[in-house]
């Protein structure tokens, strides 16, 4: 799919990786065409030593932006990023260009990085800071100030708590605010995402004397992630991990600049694990449950205020649901939402996941029509009856699909379980938004920094890798190392833990949905896979 162009308006340096040099490189590496407008040209970042500044005359700058407003290609622009301004006079024509883009493409996303200062105070003239505050901030969908910039923009001091920082962020116009350099505990630092009542903190180890350009890279990465459809929590995790990867590698080399050309792989597949948690001003987290099918029925792992509960195996899904509180969130590895007729190879969520998980695509079975699913009996007197039932299901599946196709024997074996959930959700519609579908391979892909796990989940290497990923994402080590309960295997238990993390991401609005806007089946049951 063709990605929209991104208009980036910021500073340009001859040497170094800050301003447009950081943002444009990152965005183009992620596959976005970029329109780059320099607001000032410098030989290097002023933090290294004083240097010549070339600022375009205000009338020439305004005329160039007016040309862009009238450009026949303006409709290509789907994202806007503004950063450092060379003068206060630049703010008004920049704002006018943003409004022109929004008029042409109402869904265009604008991220304002208000580059005005740090803990030492403003490092731009006050008139420039005021122009960014008055002209650009009100137009922004998202802003990415550091703590000092947030202090100045909000007119309040926010040194004490994350709650105070979140309150200051909510006092400003943008709907979404990513506050960088947020306090995250001894020896750690974080990015704080604030949106309405939601506040999420992603944190990592503090790196002493970091190179410049982190804010520019963070804002660009955040814009790219949101344009790719990532939810706030997922985008926050990816951006924080990617920037920390690049930062820590540059620091290890003793570099005085970020080395994006060397560490470009970190932008798409960061290896660092970051902690993401919801702030205390969020509503109480409900009990979350991860579920996987197993030989004994259903294996479930739950976590509430008291921590991870002992894994349990339930013979029926209704028994499982009734064992947990009425507001519990349940993520299960089983198709939910059935179509009467199938176009192509299964439902839309399955098609989307196969494109994402190229090496594990075969693990995502297409789900046939509801008639085909219900053709499978719940039990079989013998092998011959099982074979005949499978043949009937294949016949119905082919008759209710275009082009005609039939489910595999492995998919056929799941049909009694699919029926079980479908019947419950029709009988108890209040469960439709609490019982969600997920898929372990997709969940581990996201938890592993959007990298597929090569080793099979049934191998010792695969189990070890999956345990490490679960622990890195906040599951207690003792829990993932425990023996699976009777009726389940180790890989069932680990898959259930992956489902638990999806349920928690869903509860805190961090989960990603395939498709982004799910449809429903004829019974009003959502058709979506969450990761």
CATH number for the 5-257 domain, one of 3.40.718.10, 3.40.920.10, 3.40.1190.20, 3.30.540.10? 3.40.1190.20
Domain locations along the chain: 5-257, 288-371+414-530
pLDDT surpasses 60 at 207: yes
Q: Are 275 and 203 in contact (CB under 8 A)?
A: yes
The residues, ordered by sequence, that sit 6+ positions from 232 with a Cβ below 8 Å of its Cβ are 176, 193, 195, 198, 200, 509, 510
For position 280, what pLDDT does the model report?
58
State the alpha helices, DSSP H only, in 292-343.
317-322
Average pLDDT, the chain: 92
CB atoms within 10 A of CB 417: 18
For position 281, what pLDDT does the model report?
41
Angle between helices 214-227 and 232-253 in degrees, nearest 10: 150
pLDDT tens digits for 147-169? 999 999 999 875 568 989 999 99
The closest of 21, 153, 154 to 83, measured between CA atoms, is 21
Helix (H) or strand (E) holding 514, with range, is strand 513-520
CA torsion sign for 362, 364, 366, 372 is positive
pLDDT tens digits for 489-531? 999 999 999 999 999 999 988 888 999 888 899 999 999 999 9
The closest of 31, 131, 118, 13 to 79, measured between CA atoms, is 31
Rounded CA-CA distance 291/417 in Å is 12
Q: Are 90 and 58 in contact (CB under 8 A)?
A: yes
Rounded CA-CA distance 49/94 in Å is 29
**Residue in the structure block whose two tokens are 């425990």:** 482
For position 269, what pLDDT does the model report?
83
CB-neighbour burial class of residue 490 (10 A; exposed 0-12, middle 13-18, buried 19+): middle
The closest of 312, 275, 268, 272 to 290, measured between CA atoms, is 312
pLDDT surpasses 90 at 275: no
Please give the sequence-ordered ranges of beta strands (E in DSSP) within 266-310, or none if there are none.
275-278, 288-294, 297-304, 307-308
Rounded CA-CA distance 62/72 in Å is 18
pLDDT tens digits for 435-453? 999 999 999 998 888 888 8
3-state secondary structure of 332: strand
CA distances from 325 to 302, 508, 509 (A): 11, 17, 20
Rounded CA-CA distance 238/252 in Å is 21
In this structure, what token pair is assigned to residue 247? 């930062």
pLDDT tens digits for 285-323? 799 999 999 999 999 999 987 778 999 999 999 999 999
Q: Are 114 and 149 in contact (CB under 8 A)?
A: yes
- The better pLDDT of the pair 238, 38 is held by 38
Determine what percent of the chain is predicted with pLDDT higher than 70: 98
For position 374, what pLDDT does the model report?
95
CB-neighbour burial class of residue 274 (10 A; exposed 0-12, middle 13-18, buried 19+): buried
Rounded CA-CA distance 480/315 in Å is 22
Q: How confident is the model over 209-231, as a mean pLDDT?
A: 92
pLDDT tens digits for 316-328? 999 999 999 999 9
CA distances from 300 to 188, 289, 379, 400, 411 (A): 34, 6, 23, 33, 21
The closest of 176, 144, 160, 142 to 240, measured between CA atoms, is 144
pLDDT tens digits for 18-74? 999 999 999 999 999 999 999 999 999 988 999 999 999 999 999 999 999 999 999
Backbone angles phi, psi at 222, to 5 degrees: -65, -45
- The better pLDDT of the pair 172, 377 is held by 172
In this structure, what token pair is assigned to residue 243? 């920037």
- The better pLDDT of the pair 529, 188 is held by 529
């Amino acid at each position: 799919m063709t990605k929209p162009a991104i208009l980036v308006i910021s500073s340009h340096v001859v040497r170094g990786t800050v301003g447009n040099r950081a943002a444009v490189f990152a965005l183009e590496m992620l596959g976005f065409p970029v329109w780059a407008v320099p607001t000032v040209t410098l030989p290097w970042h002023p933090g290294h030593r004083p240097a010549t500044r070339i600022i375009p005359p205000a009338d020439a700058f305004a005329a160039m932006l007016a040309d862009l407003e009238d450009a026949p290609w303006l409709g290509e622009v789907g994202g806007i990023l503004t950063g450092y301004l060379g003068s206060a006079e630049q703010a008004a024509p920049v704002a006018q260009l943003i409004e022109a883009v929004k008029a042409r493409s109402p869904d265009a996303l604008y991220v304002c990085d208000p580059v005005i200062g740090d803990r030492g105070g403003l490092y731009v003239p006050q008139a420039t800071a005021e122009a960014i505050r008055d002209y650009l901030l009100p137009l922004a969908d998202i802003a990415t100030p550091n703590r000092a910039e947030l202090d100045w923009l909000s007119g309040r001091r926010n040194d004490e708590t994350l709650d105070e920082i979140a309150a200051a962020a909510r006092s400003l116009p943008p709907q979404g605010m990513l506050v960088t350099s947020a306090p995250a505990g001894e020896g750690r630092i974080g990015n704080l995402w604030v949106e309405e009542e939601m506040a999420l903190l992603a944190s990592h180890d503090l790196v002493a004397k970091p190179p410049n350009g982190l804010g520019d890279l963070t804002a660009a990465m955040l814009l790219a992630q949101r344009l790719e459809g990532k939810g706030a929590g997922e985008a926050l995790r990816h951006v924080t991990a990617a920037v920390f990867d690049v930062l820590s590698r540059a620091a290890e080399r003793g570099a005085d600049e970020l080395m994006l050309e060397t560490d470009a792989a970190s932008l798409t597949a960061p290896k660092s694990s970051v902690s993401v948690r919801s702030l205390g001003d969020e509503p109480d987290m409900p009990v979350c449950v991860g579920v996987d099918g197993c030989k004994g029925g259903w294996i479930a792992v739950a976590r509430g205020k008291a921590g991870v509960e002992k894994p349990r195996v339930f013979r029926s899904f209704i028994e499982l649901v009734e064992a947990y509180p009425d507001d519990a969130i349940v993520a299960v590895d089983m198709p939910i939402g059935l179509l009467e007729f199938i176009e192509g190879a299964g439902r839309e969520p399955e098609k989307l996941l196969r494109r994402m998980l190229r090496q594990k695509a075969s693990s995502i079975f297409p789900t046939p029509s509801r008639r085909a699913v219900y053709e499978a009996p719940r039990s079989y007197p013998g092998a011959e009856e099982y074979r005949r039932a499978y043949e009937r299901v294949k016949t119905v599946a082919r008759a209710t699909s275009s082009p005609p196709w039939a489910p595999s024997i492995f998919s056929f074996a799941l049909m009694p379980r699919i029926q079980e959930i479908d019947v419950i959700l029709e009988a108890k519609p209040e469960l439709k938004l609490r019982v969600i579908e997920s898929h372990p391979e997709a969940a581990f892909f996201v938890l592993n920094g959007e990298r597929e796990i090569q080793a099979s989940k049934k191998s010792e290497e695969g189990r070890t890798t999956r345990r490490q990923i679960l622990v890195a994402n906040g599951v207690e080590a003792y829990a993932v190392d425990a023996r699976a309960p009777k009726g389940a295997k180790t890989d069932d238990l680990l898959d259930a833990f992956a489902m638990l993390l999806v349920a928690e991401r869903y509860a805190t609005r961090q989960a990603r949905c395939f498709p982004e806007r799910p449809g429903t089946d004829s019974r009003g049951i959502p058709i979506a896979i969450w990761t």
